[in-house]
Amino acid sequence: MKYDHKQIEPVWQKKWEEAGIFHAEQNSSKPKYYTLIEFPYPSGQGLHVGHPRSYTALDIVARKRRLQGYNVLYPIGWDAFGLPTENFAIKNHVHPREVTKKNVARFKSQLQSLGISFDWSREINTTDPSYYKWTQWIFLQLFKHDLAYKKEMAVNWCTSCKCVLANEEVVNGVCERCGSEVVRKVKSQWMLKITAYADRLIKDLDLVDYPDRVKAQQKNWIGRSTGAEVDFTTTTGDKLTVYTTRPDTLFGATYMVISPEHPLIEKLASTIENMDEVRAYQEAAARKSDFERTEVAKDKTGVRLVGVEAINPVNNRQIPIFISDYVLVSYGTGAIMAVPAHDTRDWDFAKKFGLPIIEVVKGGEDVQKEAFTDCETGVLVNSEYLDGLSVEDAKKKITERLTETGKGRAKVNFKLRDWVFSRQRYWGEPIPIVHCPHCGAVAVPESELPLELPDVESYEPTDNGESPLAKMTDWVNTKCPQCGADAKRETDTMPQWAGSSWYFLRYADPHNNDALASKEALRYWTPVDWYNGGMEHTTLHLLYSRFWHKFLYDIGVVPTAEPYAKRTSHGMILGENGEKMSKSRGNVVNPDEIVNEYGADTMRLFEMFIGDFENAAPWNSNSIKGCRRFAERCYNMTSIMTEGGIRPELEGAFHKTIKKVGEDIEVLKFNTAIAALMSLINDIYNTKSVTREELKVFTILLSPFAPHVAEQMWSDCKLGDGFVSAAKWPEYDESKCVDNEIEIAVQINGKVREKLMVAADIDKDAAIAAAKASERIASLIEGKTIIKEIYVPSKLINIVIK
């Protein structure tokens, strides 16, 4: 029979679903294994060829684990709240719920056509009230533990989405999603205190198996730094505290800089003589968007506060105070001591404003020409009791002194900011809070959850920065759950990251109505054993969900401190021209067309064979044919099968391949695993026949990669009972992976001059004797002095001559 994927694939997909063989068992004595992929956002474009790269990879792992006897959970769901759906709904006057429903149906049929072994009985959807009930519940727990709070603050405002963005969503000063300008806007916002977990989010990276680049990126983003706070005073008698990582350079401070928004300015408004100039600078700084602020990063600007000076606590020297936007309000204390001799930014500023530069760390070039910032080699000078100390010792000593005299203290700072959690849009989880004129912000009682999203007439974002929900007065006006007075509901919704911050927990027990999941289910299934996803989520989803998980751990809801035991990341699939796939570049490949033309098995094989899983790889419509040929060659073996066991001449090849394929899957080397299967099939075809046992082992090895054709081979040739997807992974014998006779290279002075077939267990003397016995080697060493003879067992011989 001819290989016809259109005949084979839908049949097996249906049989698997009917038999339910990919359903995770709820009560099982088997060891569990939880594989997870980032659940997709069901966009209107349908599945992208990038999705199956991740899904197929973990499908291979999940399928292999099942064959190895594990109870596997490989779930799927929909991260369906979010802006693109809402924008589409606005434009086409349909309810976002309907848009979501349609998109989900499309995604589902596309995913099912790929034969991914998801447990569809556990499908979840973040927009389902029975799901977001628990998203809201978690928010209320955060609120009750003072980790959710409302704050008036300058936020990132996307001018196009008309919506607040988290810091993580602003990329190069523009909106991550739409690319529009982001400006600062003062608004009252719900915030989540992720900073309370900053230290643990770094420290607990030691507990998990993540790629180093992911750990490094998270650590960078959290940005822990150690230093000291130093209390300066001013000539007006006010306190002015700075944060510095270089307290050792305190004697070299020649001026101070505070951010334009620093509260001290208002306090000293009557003392400052050039207040007009100061105000003008403040306004100019406020007008700048994030984009402009980073654009003009090179040139320093600022204004000196005339009429007030600061006093250095260690030497009582009076130094001027400036305002400048190179000092940020939101980091440290919003004020710095400037040490131009040992900080390049301070140096730039000092040069521009003609301020003194005093060297306090010796070891570099002339500090008048360039700042010396090295902490490793310098020695302190001009610093009284610190003179002669190394930078490190001086830091310790000055911090001790400051602490003793009450003028400072050791301090740790983080770049990480609290998470801006409000969105002024419709298609998200309503924040379950009621604002009461008497009681303030009050939690909606848990018994009233889910607080369902009301139907509104218009989803249009408003120009005044309020959520579309604000227009629903019937819904907004309510009673205070605490005192019963007239009160108003919170109208902001949660960001898209909310639902995805805990979804992996819901999969453990997706239909539970009394808890986000039962304790037993969580104890059995968590943590996730292997989580694969994109690098782009390292500082967003991955960090947010670790934070929520740690909080849930602290309040006793989940049994583990970390959600994911192991994380891996796949590279992007690029267009054929090596550029990122996008509509505008016209290089988008539609997975449906590939499945239709070549079949799901070929698609899966190709996506795994395309290159190193962790690196980006360009699509190539030519080499996909190689994978199709391979699938056909696999199937064609069924027509030449004869009875029998593994033939002796193929025994070594089989054992080696079992070993190689098994090991490669564990380390994400799907490309070389497939190459090994291709080599094995070439060996088989060289013998012009295949035996039943050979075909059986081969089919099992093939099944995680190309499950449909494997099932067809299994059933056509009656290789075993039931499904190959429920067979047993073959074992290999280490002793049979080595050949009896091997080829070794013979080098003279490091250059290969001869190849010899020798017994695998040959010893050094015998090997070298064999080499010298060869005519070619004998003639090359004749008359020369042998300096050294090296024998690398089963690899090579190197004879060094002179």
Q: Which of residues 401-460 bind RNA (CB under 7 A)?
A: 413, 415
- Judged by CB under 7 A, the residue of 441, 726, 745, 759 near RNA is 745
CA distance 527 to 721: 33
Q: How far is the CB of 577 from RNA (least distance, A)?
A: 11
- Judged by CB under 7 A, the residue of 536, 666, 761, 765 near RNA is 536
Under 8 Å CB-to-CB from 756, ≥6 apart: which residues? 743, 744, 746, 770, 771, 774
623 scored as a contact of RNA (CB under 7 A): yes
Beta strand 318-323 pairing with 255-258: parallel
- Judged by CB under 7 A, the residue of 145, 755, 764, 784 near RNA is 755
Q: Which residues inside 565-584 make contact with RNA, applying CB under 7 A?
A: none
Question: Where does this chain touch RNA (CB under 7 A) — which range of 60-68, 195-203, 443-451, 739-747?
Answer: 739-747
- Judged by CB under 7 A, the residue of 23, 32, 200, 293 near RNA is 293
736 scored as a contact of RNA (CB under 7 A): no
750 scored as a contact of RNA (CB under 7 A): yes
Two structure tokens written together for 450: 């889910």
- Judged by CB under 7 A, the residue of 611, 652, 662, 720 near RNA is 611
- Is 22 within 8 Å of 726 (Cβ atoms)? no
Q: Which residues inside 231-260 make contact with RNA, applying CB under 7 A?
A: 243-246, 259
The three-state secondary structure class of 231 is strand
673 scored as a contact of RNA (CB under 7 A): no
For residue 140, give the nearest of 423, 416, 546, 430 by alpha carbon.
430
What number of other Cβ atoms are within 10 A of residue 721's Cβ? 8
764 scored as a contact of RNA (CB under 7 A): no
Q: Which C-beta is closer to RNA: that of 485 or that of 667?
A: 667
Q: Which C-beta is closer to RNA: that of 366 or that of 536?
A: 536
73 scored as a contact of RNA (CB under 7 A): no
- Judged by CB under 7 A, the residue of 592, 671, 692, 736 near RNA is 671
Q: How far is the CB of 777 from RNA (least distance, A)?
A: 10
Q: Which residues inside 258-277 make contact with RNA, applying CB under 7 A?
A: 259
CA distance 591 to 762: 53
585 scored as a contact of RNA (CB under 7 A): no
Q: Which residues inside 471-530 make contact with RNA, applying CB under 7 A?
A: none
792 scored as a contact of RNA (CB under 7 A): yes
- Is 307 within 8 Å of 233 (Cβ atoms)? no
Query: Element (H or E) spanning 725, and its range?
Result: none
Q: How far is the CB of 351 from RNA (least distance, A)?
A: 13
CA distance 339 to 230: 14
The three-state secondary structure class of 445 is coil
626 scored as a contact of RNA (CB under 7 A): yes
Provide the sign of the torsion angle of the four alpha carbons 620, 622, 625, 627, taken in this order.
Answer: negative
Q: What are phi and psi of 377, to 5 degrees?
A: -105, -15
790 scored as a contact of RNA (CB under 7 A): yes
For residue 246, give the nearest of 228, 233, 259 by alpha carbon.
228
Binding mask of the shown chain, residues 633 to 662, with x at each position contacting RNA by CB under 7 A: x-----------------------------
CA distance 670 to 604: 11
Q: Which C-beta is closer to RNA: that of 289 or that of 672?
A: 672
Question: Where does this chain touch RNA (CB under 7 A) — which range of 62-70, 92-100, 182-190, 220-228?
Answer: 220-228
Exposure string for 575-608, b = 16+ CB within 10 A, e = fewer? beeeeebeeeeebebebeebbeebbbbbbbbbbb
CA distance 759 to 517: 61
User: Any idea how long the chain is?
Assistant: 802
Q: How far is the CB of 520 from RNA (least distance, A)?
A: 39
Q: How far is the CB of 285 from RNA (least distance, A)?
A: 9
Provide the sign of the torsion angle of the four alpha carbons 313, 316, 317, 318, taken in this order.
Answer: positive
Q: Which C-beta is closer to RNA: that of 119 or that of 261?
A: 261
Count of residues near RNA by CB under 7 A? 83
Block residue for tokens 């694969």: 532
Q: Which residues inside 152-181 make contact with RNA, applying CB under 7 A?
A: 167-168, 171-172
Q: Which residues inside 675-704 make contact with RNA, applying CB under 7 A?
A: 675, 678-679, 682, 685-686
